[in-house]
Amino acid sequence: MPVSVIIVTFWLALLTVLLIQYFTAEGNDIPGPRGIPIFGYLPYFGKNPHLTFMELRKKYGDVFSVQMGSFPAIVISGKDTIKEALVTSGDDFSGRPDFYTATLLDDAESLTFGTFGNRYIQQRKIGSNVLYAFSNARTNPLEDMVEEEVRRLCEEFEKHEGEPFDPSSAIFLSVGSVLYQICYGQNEEVRNDEKFCQFVEVSGDFSKFTGAGNPIDVMPWLRFVMPWKLFSFLRVLGRLEKVIKANTKEQVESYSDDYRRHLVDGIHKVALEVEANPEIGLKGHHVRSMMGDITTAGFETISTTISWGILYMAANPKIQKKVYKELEQVVGSRCVRLEDKPNLPYTVATITEIMRIANVLPLAVPRATTKDTQLKGFKVRKGTVVLPNFYSVTHDEKIWGDPHVFRPERFLGRDGQLNKDKMDQFTAFSMGRRKCLGEFLARMEVFLFFAGIIQKCEIKKPEELEGYSFKGSFGLTVKSEPYDICAALRT
């Protein structure tokens, strides 16, 4: 039989099977746009799916269905609906979709993408305890690390001698340096460390690859049609895992139970305890694998948030001046410390407003239902992909009034102190069982970086530039479009 006939027969058979599945599949009895065979509604998601979902919400309400290739999905919007799903019925909505590439990450046992169950609950508890202990330890070197990186960052800004430049790559490098040292140990010469340079390079490649999306995830049959997509992912993933495992192995080999140097020590100590107590139900590799989650999770989100912050300060000089004035009054010429945070309400309000309006993770990581369940009167079948649109919360007119306006004062009371009710409305770190594990550490790092930069540098919009674009680019995170600033050290 000619090869051409075999190929045509294969394609026709595959197309027939997919069409039969599409037209005979039992979907959720939830309203939503139909989409097209095989691809579902994917072609209509657009460059910013969270904004597309905001428009669909106007027609279909806070719960509507979309077909994502081979996967039935629902989009949930509004704080009350999202809270009902992720908190009130948290166990029902805390699974992860069976996306193909997710199954390749630590054999689907990673903390971020692993199956929800007792193992996940124990992993999360261990990870939370280790991060909390590190963040609150007397010997926590985070302040010193960020102080050094802010100094280097401002020196990098100064090299441009007042001329316009894009600060994003320098910010990415500084955030990466701090995260790397948190995980593997403080090192003043970290930027000359070959392993660190490899870490930054491969982390950037991983972000670019995953940010573009992988069609194999939602249409797994494509791995047979376009295997190069899978091979490309495996190459990037292999490089990332190699760097993380090599660094972790080196630190484990020099481990001492007498003191804690970094997160690897904390993770390894718990892994040894788990291995000595089989009744816990975990194995050592379940604990050590969390280094991959911790290392990759905060890099992109923190650097993107700080980049947005610099952009908003350049675009809003009056607000930047207020932040600097408060820092000058409270901190003076010394470096910003975490203990200053309660005395810097306007600075904290500004950071919170940056995270609200930029919302770098509007859809978070997709979830899946763990069993047949209900939401707002609708039956939702087990295995349904769940997309919580947190953008609908951070940009809800009923909550914020003018959600598209950058206004830090919305988080302050009449007394100039933080308004607890408004702060509680802020949901950038997700909700429920899958809420961001490193929220506490991320808030600390963003605060120290942002306050440190504004204390030492005046950020300006180039005179020849009429204005900035605040349209984000959806990917692993929502990044700003490339932008230039001018910077000058404060005297």
Q: What is the CA radius of gyration of the chain?
A: 24
Residue 190: which H helix or E strand, with range? none
What's the one-letter identity of residue 218? V
Q: Which residues pair with 378 in a beta bridge?
A: 375
- Three-state secondary-structure class, residue 28: coil
Structure tokens at 218: 């939602």
Among candidates 297, 285, 283, 276, which has minimal Cα distance to 252?
285
Alpha helix (H) ranges present in 364-468? 391-394, 397-400, 420-424, 439-456
Burial 376-390 (b: 16+ CB within 10 A, else e): eebebbeebbbbbbb
Among candidates 102, 82, 90, which has minimal Cα distance to 428?
82
- Three-state secondary-structure class, residue 66: strand
C-alpha span between 269 and 248 (Å, rounded)? 13
Q: Which residues pair with 387 in a beta bridge?
A: 75
Measured in whole angstroms, how far is the alpha carbon of residue 399 from the centre of its chain?
23
Helix 168-184 / helix 142-158 crossing angle, nearest 10 deg: 160
Measured in whole angstroms, how far is the alpha carbon of residue 285 from the centre of its chain?
24
What distances in angstroms separate CA 146 from CA 180, 218, 420, 448, one per listed residue? 12, 39, 28, 7
Cβ atoms of 384 and 368 within 8 Å: the answer is: yes
**Residue partners of 304: CB distance under 8 A and separation at least 6:** 358, 360, 477, 478, 479, 480
Cβ atoms of 443 and 341 within 8 Å: the answer is: no
Report whether 486 belongs to an annotated binding site.
no
Cα atoms in the 13 Å half-sphere on the side-chain side of 76: 25
Q: What end-to-end distance do the CA atoms of the chain give, in Å?
A: 81
Binding site listing for heme: 436
Binding site listing: 436
